[in-house]
Structure 1
Amino acid sequence: MATSVPKILIIRFSSIGDIVLTTPVIRCLRQQLGAEVHFLTKTSFAGVLKANPYLSKIWTIDKKVSEILPDLRAEQFSSIIDLHSNLRSRRLRLGLLGIRAYTFNKLNWQKWLLTRWKVNRMPDLHIVDRYLAAAAPLGIKNDKKGLDHFIPEEDKVTPNVYGITTSFVALVIGAAHATKRLPMEKLRELCQSLNIPVVLLGGPGDKETGLQIADKLEHVYNLCGELRLHQSADMLRQAEVVISHDTGLMHMAAALHRPIISIWGNTVPDFGMYPYLPGQPTLNISFEVPALSCRPCSKIGYNSCPKGHFKCMELQQIQAIAQHAVEKMTSLR
């Protein structure tokens, strides 16, 4: 008697980096179980996964799960894997009663202890491994292949179109919250310390900052706001080294197996969201300001430093970051 193919719905509403971090679960479900995998996210983030060959369908909502609940009921999913685990995803699971659902541990109490009292009870476990643990009862195992990111053919970029004719460093200047970002003056100092081509990457909101950083620096190319998301990913793919804050493009760089220099401000790698590079730990080096009693101040971030001094970024070792980037590029040649 033929065994029916599992039809599984994964829920992760946002954001870019968090969605990229779900890709090992998608791949393992498809490759190891032969499952038909569907993914539910917000409309604004659906493009992150549009070229993923392991997905059968991407579902989207603008605000409320009620927008698509009748259509999801009609799909008759065999299982739900809730990798967001918030009020909205719980409402969806309630609306799909009768379907076995699996969730992951968000470790909210541990994060609260770390941010509020600086007591570290976080497990030495990446969030990807916690995502995979949620799906493990279905019979999948970590294949240790890391993250996936697939770039549509129409988003492939030729760097020399922008005047970039040699090897370059990609510098991701943006992040959703200001306390995750180096100040503009520090980013400019970093670029001035690099005697190699630097490509600035970020969204439309980073364009003006990029212009200020690149001003009168002929080796710096400001592509912030000039590229679509997947085009930025393709520039990451072609970079010799990626320097990035704790943001979505950092995780895309990890999916593309690029050498990464990650810079950490108010957040910390101990939250379990550092670049996920199983079997390739030396591809990432993290720069943090140690022994700050106020850090981490948030698991997400703020518009400005709550203490007013912003030491977690103002005291970053800019020269050491630049030196490491140059040494890494030299070693790759």
Structure 2
Amino acid sequence: MSLPAKVIVTRFSAMGDVAMVASVLKEFALQYPDVELHMVSRPAFKAFFQDIPSLSYHPIYPKEAHAGIGGLYRLYKELKEIGATAVADLHYNLRSRILGSFFRFAGYRVKQLNKGRKEKNALIRRENRILKPLRPTVERYADVFRELGFIDFKLQNILVNTPKEIPELAKSLFADRRHKVVGIAPFAQHSFKVLPFPKMEKVIAALSQLGYVQVIFGGGKEEAEIAAAWARKYPNVYNSIGKFTLSEELAIIANLDLMVSMDSSGMHMASLMGIKCVSIWGATHPYAGFLGYGQSIKNCVQVDHPNRPGSIYGNYSCLCDGVEAINLVTPQQVIDKVKLASR
């Protein structure tokens, strides 16, 4: 069977997962430069794919034009105009499965993500827990392409940095190269993945005293206020939240010496830009397969406990002898790991 010349790729959310898809598609485009990729995701995530050759971006509007089954059928008709013959469903949620069914009935090759739910349940269950590294999510994404016929597709899983031009408003942060510039992504969607702010402030204070320039990323209005307060309080700490587009944020990240992030999109954005990341883990665990592409488990900050992990996505509490798992992490552990990783 001949290889598809055009492939529709679907992954609608979440931000970190879409960034991981971008890392995989960057590798795919290098290995199969003659294959057209047509990425379907939310408009906000387009910047993740801006540097991938032979890729076009098709936005989905799940609450507007593409809402409900009727909206998904409208999306199907839009995508059908591309002339592809295959669909890589890298989401495997209700929306993507309905969309995939339309294509399958029309004779397209449709392959879908295997999320490995059984193994993940074994990783987080309280009794007879099986604590072992599971298949990385990026490999699960790549498996979908292998099932479509691209059997030689191989992920290198290494960080490749391509420097980008620094946005004008951020150039001053990199003016003195005697100081290392570290990104700080201290927020996450779920509180059980967030190092308590008093502890994170101690990390920021110590890194400031050690001479690091720190750029805080991620979040909305409330997070911006927290970041701004830290920036006012400590030298060489800058709040980037709300000041740059996603494309500009990626350009800044591409010039960092190091990123510090929760188990969240900050880590995956660093991976996409080829930047080493110190990641902090609480209720979740890198064994679940969500460690950033090309990142090392040696740069993960976590405290072993029989109750960890208690969640795959961080949406459930994980109490460890009455203490939330993320609160087991100490500021000094993070500081030491940053000093080691930034050498």
TM beyond 0.5: yes
**Distance change (3 Å), C-alpha of 1:200 and 1:74:** closer
Q: Does residue 204 of structure 1 match 2:220?
A: yes
Q: CA 1:79–1:4 in structure 2 vs 1: closer, same or farther (change >3 Å)?
A: closer
* 1:144 aligned to which of 143, 153, 156: 156
Structure 1 residue ranges without an equivalent (≥5)? none
SS in 1 for 2:313: coil
Q: Is residue 2:122 matched to residue 1:113?
A: yes
How well do the aligned residues superpose, as a CA RMSD in angstroms? Answer: 2.9
Q: Distance in 2 between matches of 1:157 and 1:269?
A: 36
User: In the superposition, relative to structure 1, how do residues 169 and 301 fare at CA in structure 2: closer, same or farther (>3 Å)?
Assistant: same
Structure 1 counterpart of 2:196: 183
CA distance in 2, matches of 1:259, 1:29: 21
Deviation track 1:131-157 (CA, whole Å, cap 9, x = no partner) reads 11121132241151647898986x735
Alpha-carbon offset, residue 28 of structure 1: 4.7
Q: Which moved more, 1:48-57 or 1:166-175?
A: 48-57
Q: Please, which of 317, 324, 327 is the counterpart of residue 311 of structure 1?
A: 324
Q: 1:8 to 1:163 in 2, by over 3 A?
A: closer
Q: Residue in 1 aligned with 2:301?
A: 287
| Deviation of the 1:15 alpha carbon | 2.0
Match of 1:38 in 2: 38
Correspondence 1:21 to 2:20 = yes
1:127 is aligned to 137
Aligned match of 1:216 in 220, 227, 233? 233
**Amino-acid identity (%):** 25
Unaligned runs of 5+ in 2: none
Task: Provide the residue aligned with 1:101 in structure 2.
Answer: 110
Residues 161 and 275, structure 2, Cα contact 8 Å, conserved in 1: no
1:38–1:59: 8 Å Cα contact kept in structure 2? no
Residues 234/73 of structure 1: CA separation in 2 closer, same or farther (3 Å cut)? closer
Would the aligned equivalents of 2:29 and 2:52 in 1 still touch at CA under 8 Å?
no
What corresponds to 2:76 in structure 1? 69
How far apart are the structure 1 equivalents of 2:7 and 2:300?
Answer: 36
Q: Find the counterpart in structure 2 of residue 81 from structure 1.
A: 88
Structure 1, 90-99 or 206-215: larger mean CA deviation: 206-215
Is the 8 Å Cα contact of residues 207 and 222 (structure 1) preserved in structure 2? yes
Whether the aligned pair in 2 keeps the contact of 1:25 and 1:132 (CA below 8 Å) is yes
Alpha-carbon distance between aligned partners in 2 of 1:226 and 1:92, rounded to the nearest angstrom: 36
SS of match in other structure, 1:170: strand
Q: Which moved more, 1:201-210 or 1:142-151?
A: 142-151
- In 1: Cα distance, 2:335 partner to 2:16 partner: 25
> How far 1:238 moved relative to its partner?
1.8
Q: Secondary structure at the match of 1:85?
A: coil
TM-score (norm 2): 0.82
The verdict on how the C-alpha distance between 1:149 and 1:168 changes in structure 2, with shifts beyond 3 A counting, is closer
Residues 160 and 274 in structure 2, CA contact (< 8 A), matched pair in contact too: no
CA distance in 1 between counterparts of 2:140 and 2:95 reads 20
The count of corresponding residues between Structure 1 and Structure 2 is 322
**2:102 maps to 1:92:** no
**Cα deviation code 1:270-304 (max 9, x no counterpart):** 11110221xx748x5101121152x32222223x8
Q: Residue 181 of structure 1: CA displacement?
A: 0.9
